[in-house]
Amino acid sequence: MRIKIILSFLLMVFYSSCYNETNVSNKNVFRYNESKGIASLDPAYAKSQVLIWPTNQLYNGLVQMDNQLNIKACIAKKWEINDYGKEYRFFIRNDVRFHNHILFENGQGRKVNAKDFEYSLNRIIDPKTASPGAWIFNNVSENGIKALNDSVLQIQLKRPFPAFLGLLTMQYCSVLPREIVEEFGVDFRNNPVGTGPFQFKIWKENEKLVLVKNPNYFEKDSLGNNLPYLDAISITFINDKQSEFLEFLNGKIDFISGLNAANKDELITKNGKLNPKYCDQIKMINQPYLNTEYLGFLLDTAKVKTKASPVLNKKIRQAINYGFDRKKMMKYLRNNVGTPAINGFIPKGLPSFSDEFVGYTYNPDKTRKLLIEAGFPNGVGLPSITLTTTSDYLDLCEYIQQELAQYGIDINIEISTGAIFRDMVANSKINFFRGSWIADYPDAENYLTLFYSKNFSPSGPNYTHYFNAEYDKLYEKAMLAVNDSIRYSIYNKMNRLIIDDAVIVPLYYDEVIRFVNDGIVGFESNPMNLLNLKRVKKQLN
């Protein structure tokens, strides 16, 4: 322990003494703010976007995603899939080094090998690590991750799972140097060493985090130039969103992500375009984001509090789906940021998304007809339905409440706090709830697993407790389909079943919306909202 304390002190002195030399105004430094703060730079705990963004600059894994969500080589130069989709073999590059560090021989980062991946991935599984990413390897056989030699890593699955490569792109699966992780222990959180395009320089918690260019980074651009182009990344921790916005307008921050309610109407028009007065100063980048916002019905008769609850009636659920105008909702409540969810649960941005299938569109006549068929003409005799949400989505829920009232459908809105709300949904205690699902990995299975009967909550993500034998068969068939086009076709059949049974009320497919200063070049976006800065350039004034 004493060695660790002394080493941490020496590192702090070393980094601090070098800090001023790297924080020079004429350097190519990309600056952004993280209002929620950063708790750890250990990728084992990179659960949220807040932590994923900086760890993505510091580390690499076996594979990575491009901006179209295709799986590409990274530290693994190639891979093979054998044994009917149950065995994966990854062939490791021999030119990748860890960041330079005083704990390495001569302070020079050593080469990465397959044994480093064996250690790093098994560390995620180890209960002592308590990583929230351990679930990634639930389908891996016992002792199924092993280095066959320095250049080949083998992973054995219990059963085929075509989305497994996508799982391995997550930051949890980054490679780490065992000797340094074990030397620092829990303090690895603020003494990170990886292989990424940027390496750790200094972290003054709640004040500033600085990452600097890794001079030995292994990836190059299409012309053979070394990546990254930037000299450094500087992250501040201003927790007030309005102050962050003003810093951005004043050019002290290069990038902000998303729209805050306080500046939404200032930055964009009602049609979702950048306010013309900022066109010479700011660039707006938007594209589909793998997030579906929806309302969910609890369909388990053993769980629903009132056995005569209207949510158990399929025709009532369908009537609700047809009863409000999603396009108007997006225009007036979201400034057209996002797309009305009329194509089911699978969001835009995934390769398996299909706009050929149209589910529920605004159709008042169908709503009235379905109410008559359900035995409640004009809503007469229909019990009130309680919709539970958090305050963040109150405006959307109130809009739907007002729209449905014209048919005699009485929606009572109940506000719950975030933690309590999530617990109630996870434990099937809410009949009708507002939900959202953000993809963990770029495959529609991540969405469709929410309706597989073996995933009933609380042990799985099937919060609606939907059961359909045909759906389950299709899900299991899809897991055996290695061919993407065949699997996508099955996914689309499953999507139709969910919509036909009105398990949910899809609201909208979200968008990634980012604003960058005009001097930033090569800033990219992707449907996973991953921050990738290795190809970014900054034009100096």
Q: What is the pLDDT of residues 473-524, one digit of tens each?
A: 999 999 988 888 999 999 999 999 999 999 999 999 999 899 999 999 999 8
All residues at 6 or more sequence positions from 175 whose CB lies less than 8 Å from its CB, including other chains: 59, 60, 61, 62, 75, 112, 116, 117, 120, 194, 195
Q: Is 468 helix (H, G, I), strand (E, B) or coil?
A: coil
d(CA 271, CA 327): 12
State yes or no: pLDDT of 98 exceeds 80. Answer: yes
Q: State residue 307's pLDDT score.
A: 62
**Closest to 339 measured CA to CA, from 389, 387, 295, 286:** 286
Q: What is the DSSP letter of 411?
A: E
CATH architecture for residues 2-239: 3-Layer(aba) Sandwich (3.40)
Q: What's the sign of the alpha-carbon dihedral 229, 234, 239, 240?
A: negative
Residue 11 has what pLDDT?
52
pLDDT digits (tens, 9 = 90+) for 162-196: 999 999 999 999 999 999 999 999 999 999 999 99
pLDDT digits (tens, 9 = 90+) for 252-310: 999 998 877 777 788 888 888 899 999 989 999 988 999 999 999 999 888 776 667 89
Percent of the chain with pLDDT over 70: 94
Radius of gyration of the chain (CA): 25
Q: Categorize the per-residue pLDDT at 2 as very low, low, confident or very high, splitting at 50, 70 and 90.
A: very low
Token readout for 525 is 């976006």
φ, ψ at 116 (rounded to 5°): -65, -40
Q: What is the pLDDT of residue 304?
A: 74
Residues pairing with 90 in the sheet: 79, 153
Task: Flag whether pLDDT at 16 surpasses 70.
Answer: no
User: What is the structure's pLDDT at 84?
Assistant: 87
At the second CATH level, the architecture of 289-511 is Roll (3.10)
Cis peptide before 458 (omega within 30 of 0): yes
Distance CA 11, CA 297 (A): 54
Residues contacting 30, CB < 8 A, separation 6+ = 230, 232, 233, 234, 254, 255, 520, 533, 536, 538
Q: Once rounded to an integer, what is the mean pLDDT over residues 57-64?
A: 98
Give the predicted TM-score (pTM) of the model. 0.85
Distance CA 525, CA 359 (A): 28
Residue pLDDT, tens place only, 128-154: 999 999 999 999 999 999 999 999 999
Packed helices 326-334 and 394-405: angle between N→C axes, nearest 10 degrees? 140
pLDDT in tens, 104-124: 999 999 999 999 999 999 999
Q: Report the C-alpha dihedral over residues 170, 33, 264, 534, rounded to 10 degrees.
A: -50
Rounded average pLDDT over 453-466: 93
* pLDDT higher than 80, residue 10: no
Q: Give residue limits of the domains in the chain.
A: 2-239, 289-511
Rounded Cα distance, 460 and 470, in Å: 19
pLDDT in tens, 224-235: 999 999 999 999
- What is the rounded average pLDDT of the residues 235-247? 92
List of residues 6+ apart from 342 with CB closer than 8 A: 326, 358, 359, 360, 361, 506
Q: What integer best gives the mean pLDDT of the chain? A: 91
Closest CA to 289 of 511, 24, 88: 511
Burial class (CB in 10 A: 0-12, 13-18, 19+), 258: middle
